[in-house]
Structure 1
């Protein structure tokens, strides 16, 4: 445990040599008894081969039962992979994985092992009954010992393993409290060894810290194959699953889920969540389309303008960057001739949507101008574009993708920036695309007095 220059027994100098005990691998830890033999399993062929001679075997993915979950993972779960699911407490990580375990156990041949270090078997059984995940092939275990976890995996050899969570499992072979850096690193390494040697996929739940990062050493994120962030607004039922790292698929996909009393349901078309049900035009509202991964989502921006009785007018923003709002108010005053500096402004989005992308600037400015002039914007009109300090409307990335989604939802008019030199405006069937160069032109196209 400490350095010795002189041997405390014989008194000689320089005779002490450092020695490290090898960490038991998955087979040694799962032997169960004290007299169990340690079996070393070598991975790979042990020699280097030209990449042209390495076979590319087709791997069949395991479907989670959720199309949204499969999309984020790149088409399903790869056998032998380790997926880390992280999120805030109470966001629904355990519920999502328990429903996934029930659907995999029902649709695929082979058992699913659900290991909980936070709840007892009866508590997991109660939650499984609520979300309709009770299946004969779903095996439940409650333990916090790493050796027991590896022994259960080796004994049952399930098709899928879910460990909830990595911070509650501890190993007796290393020092440290459960959830500490040493323990989390040891647990992750042992589970990854088991997944690779036995070709069993493992879904691992990870806690997060106060700032939202994954708890434990950064090594945990480097070791696993896939890192997914499961987040959402606690005040709404919408949940988003994003892949921050994926060795087997894209990292810009997003899955939408709806958290309810009966569990989690996937939302294949989340457009209706971010739009109000009122079809009549109302002043102070404008719809834009933002990008979240490969998916284009509609965001309805609502604005309220009132006369202020305070020395410093109030600015309240929900779902919109407050600094961006202050900039747009100044641009509206300078280039749109709409004075809002002395008014109280309240700007918000529907259902917890985020309009913090620069391409949402035109919709925010249009909603403010509509509320100030009491001029309603038609419900079939959307506005997409970034506004600069000079009042210019700048192009938005992947404009055609946004416009096609708008046309699919029934929008017939779109206020978009003029194309750059050398590029062309996309042609969308049954949609009138109005190109503008400045904020003043955009407000005139929306019939708002400037």
Structure 2
């Protein structure tokens, strides 16, 4: 269906909740001066007036859930750090945003890096930590430069270093640029990479909260999770809980991309629907309709236009058969070949597999071979069941979630678009005409396949 903005009763101004993105459009939004003009570093002052345990309880009571994909309660993760163990504690921020379709942490760091630094200060105080790390996707050099400058500004102003704001708290932050491996977005592979080793997932237990970076208690949080903390401390947990749903409270950044009129970042309460977000963005591109979409990047099971009114929170999306993940809403119209899209995603996961476990290393390879054959019209009908069987042998049986992410597009695309797979097999090629892009090709002309 084609979604137009006039079908909505609620105005975009009432749906959007700009907090992290409130002043992204201001000149030099990334500077300390701009951040201070917008109540910057007021949350950490409130936190320092509380005890560390009170800060953890406050964040826990707010209901803030991790914004990196799993949705684990942030305060609870902080609470897992053992106290009085005599070991150094570490905070690691996962800024290795590599999920296909995901683009929220990088714009946030580019436009408002001090929100992350202030959140890290609060987290360090809460978990009794003096050393923190930001693991950034290394290809984003402009963001790396802005992060370095923000850290320099924070040190110069006394927000980092020795005796922060006269509290007796010492905090040092190191910005580390990764080398472009998708697997390093998995928290234990990230820790191995940060220690100078090849990025591969670790066997758990022990979990990072007990033995993480340098075998010491470590909290690993997503950028948006930590950056949301200062606003919660500054405005109150009740304010935060007034948005979203009971189990998924608060605001979040939705990355809307694909065949939409106005792609971009939309900060709204959890529980907003894709229909509402499309209304704010002008709908699908003129003359086209939504065919399928991903709620949280390519590693989450895809959904169709039947799910336009599913509330985008962790529970509702899960009940619909997918995952909210990183809230990367990739929207595809009727000109898109599902088989081609899933093949490209599968090739990505096969390429990015670290090779540590057999199901993922071998399974993604064979998925790619089958998908390429089907796309090229060389497949057979039994290959569709073989696809599902191989995906089943990967899903839940690999060392980390990369295997599950590779299997998800296979399962969901076969569920909703099996007929399209069969058309590729019976028609001996892709039924979409790449020259016209919007119509089905004449099956008597297989040369239209590319």
TM-score, normalising length from structure 2? Answer: 0.27
Higher helix share: 2
Greater relative contact order, per chain length (Cα 8 Å cut-off, separation 6+): 2
User: Larger Rg: 1 or 2?
Assistant: 1
Q: Output the TM-score relative to the length of structure 1.
A: 0.27
Is the strand fraction higher in 1 or 2?
A: 1
